[in-house]
Amino acid sequence: MPKIPVLMLLLIPLALPCRSADVIFGRRLYAVHGHSYQQIWTLDSRTRKVAPLAHSDRRHDQAVCSPDGRRIWFLSGPFGDIDENELWWFDRLTRSETLAAKLKVRPITLVGATEKSAFFTALENDKGGLYRWDGRLEKISALDDTVATAALSPDGRTLAVQRGKAASVTMFAASGAQGREIAGCSGPVWSSDGRRLVCFAGAKIRVMDVASGAETAHAEFTLRPTPPLYADFSSDGKRLLVGTIGANHTSTSPQLDYWTLEIAAGKWEFIGPGQAAIFASGGVLLVTPRELAPVGKAHEWVSQILLVDPATHKQTPLAAGTASNVEPRRCLEPTSKPGELKRK
């Protein structure tokens, strides 16, 4: 059996413990009078009920969880300021929020986080880069693009980073140490066990083994003339959720059209249009395209989160109302450390 270099052993993610997985999402309940802010809500994957986690006078955008589910990192900024240069975390056990840093770069995408570190793409003097904040700001790599170009493994140990104009993915340890490069690969996304990546090469969807760097499966996306832009693995790793620019996409209502793909059979099922989508217990969580709705004398953008059954195409609303429901992310249910109690 060939030996695996020590660095590559560090870059092979560990399997995470099996625990109940919730979904967190951003929800802004509009107020007729006064300010309203996007808060962090949770969707219980067993009961399909939603409940608020955070409730404070600040925006909670692009929320991501640490691998143990306890700490949720998010971006924020002053009310009315579109720039979000504040990095915060929310502790799910104590329900407290802490300002980590006011960043000197302009964050674009919050990629992922551990208990003590957050990873994000950002612009500095109009130049893109991948950054880590762990008490101080450090640039890991330069980037030509800052959207959908980096992904953190589920255990928080490894980054898959798209670099260069010729699509290729380079593996980095969370510390910044550089590892293997995978050519012909863009838009990397991890499987839930951290052993595989899905990425794109034009219209080709590739499934890659992280340890060997070898392609284990592929499919051609021929359902639209536009290339695939988004993917997600099902929990069992047997299906992919794939998105491309939506047929009804506009600048005021950006959206993708989504399908599921059975990897082994090559079978596609249309899910629908939406702002975002992820696999969840019972099907696919789909954020509907946003629409304007009256709120007092004004109009605001609203959207729902639907649970879509790929087999029957049944759609069940889970988060609706006069609200913006966005950015669903899977997040483990945290467990208390010794001496700590969960607050009800």
Q: Which phi-psi region, left, alpha or beta, contains residue 321 (left: φ > 0; alpha: ψ -120 to 50)?
A: left
Q: Write down the pLDDT at residue 16.
A: 41
Average pLDDT over residues 294-316: 95
Per residue in 1-20, pLDDT tens?
333 333 333 343 444 443 45
Listed residue (79, 128, 88, 74) closest to 106, CA to CA: 128
> Is residue 278 within 8 Å of residue 327, measured between CB atoms?
no
Q: Write down the pLDDT at residue 131.
A: 97
One-letter amino acid for residue 7 of the chain: L
User: Where is 171: in which H helix or E strand?
Assistant: strand 168-173
Where is average pLDDT lowest: 11-20, 173-182, 306-315?
A: 11-20
Average pLDDT over residues 160-185: 91
Q: What is the per-residue burial (b if ≥16 Cβ within 10 Å, else e) of 50-80? A: beebbeeebbbbbbbbbbbbbbbbbbbbeee
Per residue in 228-259, pLDDT tens?
999 999 999 999 999 999 999 999 999 999 99
Per residue in 73-91, pLDDT tens?
999 998 767 778 999 999 9
Per residue in 144-172, pLDDT tens?
888 889 999 999 999 999 987 768 999 99
Cα first-last separation, the chain: 51
Average pLDDT over residues 213-239: 96
Q: Mean pLDDT, the chain, as a whole number?
A: 90
Predicted TM-score of the model (pTM): 0.90
- Residues facing 260 on adjacent strands: 241, 269
Distance CA 106, CA 211 (A): 33
Q: Which phi-psi region, left, alpha or beta, contains residue 222 (left: φ > 0; alpha: ψ -120 to 50)?
A: alpha
> Quick one: DSSP state of residue 134?
S
Q: Which phi-psi region, left, alpha or beta, contains residue 51 (left: φ > 0; alpha: ψ -120 to 50)?
A: beta
